Amino acid sequence: MASADIGSIPTPAHCTADFCLIPIGTSSPSVSAQIADVQRLVEKSGLKYVMHSAGTTLEGPWDQVHHVIGQAHTILHQQGIVRIQTDIRAGSRTDKEQSFEDKWMYIDEQYYLFAPAKDS
């Protein structure tokens, strides 16, 4: 690695990324309008996604997922928001393809498999 050109290192083919975008310094404590704009962007991206109370989970090619997160910053900057902080948790794996739905289904299976027996 020491002598490798970092430009030749590829990014992972696929990833899941959970991000929480936080506009700072808006005129209102509510950021629902900005989040709606981000949701419209994510919808148009064609990536698989799910929004939840604390952010958005995206799934797809690494470069596309991170590009959309960058575009979310740009559309809010274009609205006059000068500072945005974003927490991103990204994961990738090379041993198998696994969607976020696959993960949820596996957890559900484990939950019901190991659930304590109910007394009647």
What's the pLDDT at 11?
94
Q: What letter does residue 86 receive in the DSSP assignment? A: E
The Cα 74–Cα 3 span in angstroms is 35
| AA letter at 4 | A
Query: Domains of the chain, with CATH numbers?
Result: 11-114 (3.30.70.930)
Q: What is the pLDDT of residue 2?
A: 61
Question: In this structure, how many other beta carbons lie within 10 angstroms of the beta carbon of residue 95?
Answer: 5
Q: Are strands 83-91 and 48-52 parallel, antiparallel or unpaired?
A: unpaired
The answer to whether residues 23 and 79 touch, using CB atoms and an 8 Å cutoff, is: no
What tens digit of pLDDT does each residue of 1-40 get? Answer: 566 689 899 999 999 999 999 999 888 888 999 999 999 9
Summarised one tens digit per residue, pLDDT across range 87-104 is 999 999 899 887 777 777
